[in-house]
Structure 1
């Protein structure tokens, strides 16, 4: 009896295990909820629908798994990898290598610069150039006229930047390209990059009058008048004979007018009109200098100075009044009366005889 007990135990364990395996409630079935985008446990009615025939299923998730394992994989969008985007169609239908794609991406994201900054130029002693790291942004949209073919054209800054980048790649040491990139940064208001490009151009050609004029205009807009006058005079000195330098005279006239040297400014405005009679801004400056009017800044300055003088006088009067009340009137010492009685004064006999005579 005792020997049959182990066999009975094994048989009971076998029956329990078989019931667990064959019971559908002990297994967890999953189904894909396409409306909610979730995977959740299936109910009893869902489990009965999962198995339809032998080796067939209507469950979406299980169908994907069995299709990938039992049938060859098919790409629903074969061109997505080639173009890195199914809707862009940017790279065409052909495949390109990863290196070419990387080079194209770098060319589109590279920041436009004039390359490495130069160490020193002969104009670095000027304050406006020495303190170029401290300058604020100052856009100059009027500089876009340099890049316009006609007056009515509109400049696409992104396309212009791409063209300048390509031109710089083709001519990495071109002074003209550095000058154009500097003017491009003037339009954007990036004064530091503009000065760096002009410095690099001047390191290769220190006597280029056009680059000196552009740099002078940048410093003039930043109110470094002494530096701007120095560079503009230098650009006029370096002009080749026979060159029409009306713009240099006009720029120097503007700077001198802002500096307060009206007489010399009018001389340069006349030179600019002689070289370019149709240039109306020079004529307008000459008319304003010929008919000087009291500007609002002059009136404000006079009012401020008058207020300061009145304030100082009021403070002095108030301080004197306080001192008068606190200190009081000064007291004088009483003088002793001198007794001039002659009887008490000894007079020499000679003086007495002299008086009698």
Structure 2
């Protein structure tokens, strides 16, 4: 971990040294500890998950940044396994909630139970009280249940019988939705989608990875006890606090704001005809998300400061659910990723 002005990137290219602070905000010992902890976390994923490097990066980055992830894919692409692996990797508690139309807010938050023997009420906390919570097929739950869950995500607490119960730290939600089956689903409104730090869209594994999956299943290594040493919850909180210390230069902040403003049809170099494809651009929450994700990526890359590549790396995951396309764009099947790429191509890097 370093913040000096002569740091070489892993690929050998010299970084944007003018964006580095004069003195590193992260000490050498803390940097070494972070590198060791992240390596241990990666080893846990290596044993359990084949391929899906984008998913792995999104989950770890979101955890470090203190955000939540929305996962979209067809069934069977290791979403649940990845969530369980992340929980095991940080020695945290894990609860899975299968969302159905009859699921009520009290089923996930908790409720009060009357004890006839004592004549008193006792509080039973719901499954949302865990370090990592998997909301499977969130779009199958009703709007009331979705809003209750999103309130817990935002406030990091639940209210039962007039009493407030804080959620454990760290706390992270992984929600999944199937883009194919739309019958009997409640689509998440844009305002609720915006509360997810990232939306990761998963694709099928390559043939080599799929062969590797079959071989690991045959040998039993996928279900074998973990040989890698997980990190602790205290280590996870330590990493989250280090992310807060990662330096973000004013030029990077101006770059992020210029990107977000371009999604709204403005910016230093407005894209002609962009409003024909985009009805609503990203909110200030999008600016915060880009910066937080960039800080988390910088820490994972062994740096104590953010460079433009950190902002660009997960741009699709951060912005694809924050851009509302017009009906014409939807009819012409214009992917949000191409619109995001056009925005980043238009805004010059610092």
Greater helix content: 1
Q: Which has the higher contact order (CA 8 A, sep 6+)?
A: 2
Fold shared, TM-score > 0.5 on shorter chain: no
Q: Which has the higher strand share?
A: 2
TM-score by length of 2: 0.20
